Structure 1
């Protein structure tokens, strides 16, 4: 579980220092505020910690993070990631098992020389789930990276495409209640046909081509698959970009209920970006109903980022303000 992060002058983020994180963390803000960038930066850093020292991999941590940042943000040179207001950027991430910090400047190309780490052995996986599903483009993603070695799909998508390939685990079913909830929402399941090596949507025992399933079903299917093959497990950190994308409001609420259940059954931590009023309102209600919950909201404030505890109420933000403005406009028209 990530407990603290400090990011200075990385991409659009000039200053983000948060040390009061929850098990569920919602990141909100206007377009261009750096929501997705923040999630991907945290993902890249933490994925580096997971890969460092794994198996027979003898790469230096400096090399792993440099490679991860380049392929996650599709940068020809690492210096391109430094905010224009500065000549250097600094990043620090601390979790229950490790602390990791890096520093590099505008002249950095493909290497990071200044990296300080205290990384323990991590036996779990984090995952980034993008706004768009990847089942339908999985083979294209893998080819672009494994064979062509070209930018186009970032490392978060590449890692996800590989993770989805893993076959369901043969061990006792983990997280059965959340998985059952996801499959009920989907009306079936998404499975990989071993003969054709193609994804299929299975409903009532009948197999359909993956193209017949909606984007929303395929998005839910990614989370269900990752639970089924145990790529994500007890300590995993899950990053979800624009959770509401492709989902009906009813499905949004049910998915958040499932996410809450996952955090209760395990030590999982979620970072979620959203533009949705339904997501904000639901998280506030979740915090009110369960006093033991730890649900936070991270949002930009001028050139900084601040954290808000949903137990203290709905955070003041442009999404709520826009909802109020539309209501007032309606009242003015009616009266």
Structure 2
């Protein structure tokens, strides 16, 4: 799992250093502070290592070739040049990571098109690794259209995190029981929505008892949770998975947000490392409660824009620190009190 990240002149960041990653890592910050940039660089690194170590014997692609392609299609940079990711005031970016004690690094300049030439020579060893990215947008309703854009047209539109997720969802599920912690997670979530997702004739349907519903008839929140339960059922999410989630709260009722946070915490206890970016008070509050209840360290990373983008780290096991989401909530409360006093 990831242990370290250094970004230099990458996107919005002049320098960001993040040591001692936890099982669960929550990234917060106002819009345009680089939350998704962090998720995607970690995902691109992990997914390229995974694809390199799982490639067939006939595939002689180097790790740098796989990484270049992954970065290009995940970020889909303007002017179709990877160099567009370099910070505007700089000429070259640098990325360093430690993944399961091995160091992976790469660097490229503003003129780079689609090939990274300076990076770690190779992925060090075969890892039992699986990286998954759940984007903000719902994918099940437009499943075929997204697949066509990525697989046939090869044009910018939906970035490659969507296509990678589609491939993972296509894997067959099994009726065989999972290990108890994962089976408990599935049971609680499927009870919450009283149904489950199924792939029939290459199309997804939601099954509730004997009734079946097309994806266009299913609520957005149910689809989001059902993606996770399907990935557990087909054993894509298991020990060794690194799971990235962008705004998990989107389209979810607060009750479902709490259930989702409980599910993610349970996954972290069986060996899944989790990174999520959020704007939701409910998300960070529920994780704070879980951290304090179980005395489990959960990293809260707060991005702030001053002259540059800075990052502050807090352990939710020690309680809720001051942060912009709490400040906004307090501001609304104070505005409400002032209205009452003026009445």
Quote the residue 1:155 is aligned against: 160
Larger deviation, residues 100-109 vs 89-98: 89-98
Deviation at 1:98, TM superposition (A): 2.7
Deviations 1:145-174 (A, max 9, x none): 211111111011110011111110364424
Larger deviation, residues 299-308 vs 58-67: 299-308
Deviations 1:308-335 (A, max 9, x none): 1112221221111111111111111211
Quote the residue 2:18 is aligned against: 18
Deviations 1:231-256 (A, max 9, x none): 12111010010010010001101111
State the SS of the aligned residue for 1:9. Answer: strand
Distance between the aligned counterparts of 2:175 and 2:91, measured in 1? 51
| Structure 1 residues without counterparts, runs of 5 or longer | none
Deviation at 1:307, TM superposition (A): 1.6
Does 2:283 align with 1:284?
no
Quote the residue 1:304 is aligned against: 310
Quote the residue 1:223 is aligned against: 228
Does 2:194 align with 1:190?
no
Deviation at 1:118, TM superposition (A): 5.0
Deviation at 1:205, TM superposition (A): 2.2
Quote the residue 1:232 is aligned against: 237
State the SS of the aligned residue for 2:114. Answer: coil
Q: 2:331 is matched with which residue: 321, 325, 330?
A: 325
Q: 1:78 is matched with which residue: 78, 82, 104?
A: 82
- What is the 5 A alignment of 1:61-72? 61-72=63-74
Q: 1:203 is matched with which residue: 203, 208, 217?
A: 208
Distance between the aligned counterparts of 2:256 and 2:151, measured in 1? 35
| Structure 2 residues without counterparts, runs of 5 or longer | none
8 Å Cα contact 2:136/2:246 also seen in 1: yes
8 Å Cα contact 1:97/1:120 also seen in 2: no
8 Å Cα contact 1:144/1:150 also seen in 2: yes
